[in-house]
Chain A
């Protein structure tokens, strides 16, 4: 146990795993059919959302049930400004290079709004407040100014950022790796140590002379930024947005279950979880009907929480340690 300085040599050594992952993902389009690439695109976006949830909830312990709120704010912001019918009034249609940054900024603003109650509430109370945020925006989108939001049907025919499955694949994995490496670096620094300590005992962290408010705010901003990036690009990949899909319980469950299966408080685990969930959901489709699939995933998540709380990432670490011990013994 001599590995105290997490930033530096250790991170550089581990960075090579990221580079291997990027290299493997980069060449996959040469070998895989388009149908698999489409699933990988969805998996990459789910991984981005799961990393965003992990940054806020997996690290600080503030379990958010309102993450689709952050994603939806970004998605709707870019959709409304880029939709052909325009933002009415004053009937403005902006190019994507303007709407996407605006949408991400809107998501960060929404993140700060979600952060405010965290100063007053903790535990299940925060979770309920975050859920309320999601329900409020769901109703607002449907009921208030449906001429701008498309109401219950949402907004179709949005412009894509890039056309075709292969460019979209590279865009999605590029975003996923950029976000992943960024968050991974932050969480391996002392910022990550403080956030994990906040999850364990926030009062004791404060009694160590650290402003937990400052660190939570930073985590929430990063989480919202990630949700904003994912939400904006995902919306343009799908070329549509609808309130049922964006603010539905299933979407929220997919995000949380991905993180839990992958390993909470690890960032990398969220990528594993996002891919595991998306691919198995897709390829089990012929064998398990919709409701049964989600029941199965909920049970798998429950099993992991109870018996393998470090998720797939933790299992991978255990296997790596076992292999290392075998090598030392040989």
Chain B
């Protein structure tokens, strides 16, 4: 299978702290990759680098073989890479349907002046698809964490992505909500979307992922199927000391 996303030898330092150290992994087409690691291992940092929020000190990010290391975030999103945030970041003054609509506004002044964005019926379809039906006019402060995660997902889906980076998508959810989000992600996988999933919740992650990469202190320590990973001595040492 072709490599869709490649992280090649990325190193990121914050002052004297090496957050990511010569990290390499890739995502293949038609695959769901789990990215695991204890707290502070650099999972979100690597997401930020993939999205262009931070520039790495060295290394490259490739999407479909194209070097995108220095591309601005919006360009990466237009190419098909998008993300959710560990702590949901809705637009606090907007009802959720308007929040999702922002992701469909064309990246051009003239197009935006003419209102050439996605039709509202399509936006409603996306919102309904992630389970937000009947709550279009709610504001973020009126929603549960589960619904905020759905809004995040709807926003990513509205950008017509090829890859979604899911950052702790199950954090703060009830068991029932985890099941619902899990079902939704499986459906999206069947529809052909590829994911990189970061999660602390190993139980929730297990049935979703085809392959897992484990990092610790910003370094690659193991790779394999979920069962191989949980029995790996280096992984056990990283998690349990």
Contacts and interface: CB of A to CB of B under 8 A. Distances in A.
Interface of A: 1, 4-8, 186, 189-191, 193-194, 196-197, 200-201, 203-215, 218
Contacts of A6: 115
A190 B114 CA distance: 8
25 contacts: A1-B95, A6-B115, A7-B114, A189-B113, A189-B114, A190-B112, A190-B115, A191-B113, A193-B105, A200-B93, A200-B94, A204-B89, A207-B73, A207-B74, A207-B82, A207-B83, A208-B103, A210-B74, A210-B105, A210-B107, A211-B72, A211-B75, A214-B109, A215-B109, A215-B112
Contacts of A215: 109, 112
Contacts of A214: 107-109
Interface in B94-131: 94-95, 97-98, 101-103, 105-109, 111-115, 117, 120, 123
Contacts of B85: 204
Nearest 7 Cβ contacts at the A-B interface: A1-B137, A209-B77, A190-B112, A208-B103, A4-B120, A206-B73, A200-B91
Contact of B115 (A5, A197, A211, A218): A5
Interface in B214-234: none
Contacts of B41: none
Contacts of A200: 91-94
Interface in B2-61: 51, 53
Interface of B: 51, 53, 72-75, 77-78, 82-83, 85, 89, 91-95, 97-98, 101-103, 105-109, 111-115, 117, 120, 123, 136-137, 155, 158-159
Contacts, number: 97
A190 B77 contact: no
Contact of B107 (A186, A197, A204, A211): A211
A207 B51 contact: yes
Contacts of B112: 189-191, 193-194, 215
B104 to A, nearest CB: 8
B82 A194 contact: no
A6 B102 CA distance: 13
Most chain A CB neighbours (cut-off 10 Å) among B91, B94, B98, B120: B91
Given A200-B93, A204-B85, 12 more contacts: A7-B115, A189-B115, A194-B102, A196-B93, A203-B53, A204-B91, A207-B73, A207-B74, A208-B105, A208-B158, A208-B159, A209-B103
B113 A190 contact: yes
A6 B120 CA distance: 12
Contacts of B78: 209
Contacts of A205: 102
A150 B107 CA distance: 46
A203 B85 CA distance: 11
A328 to B, nearest CB: 18
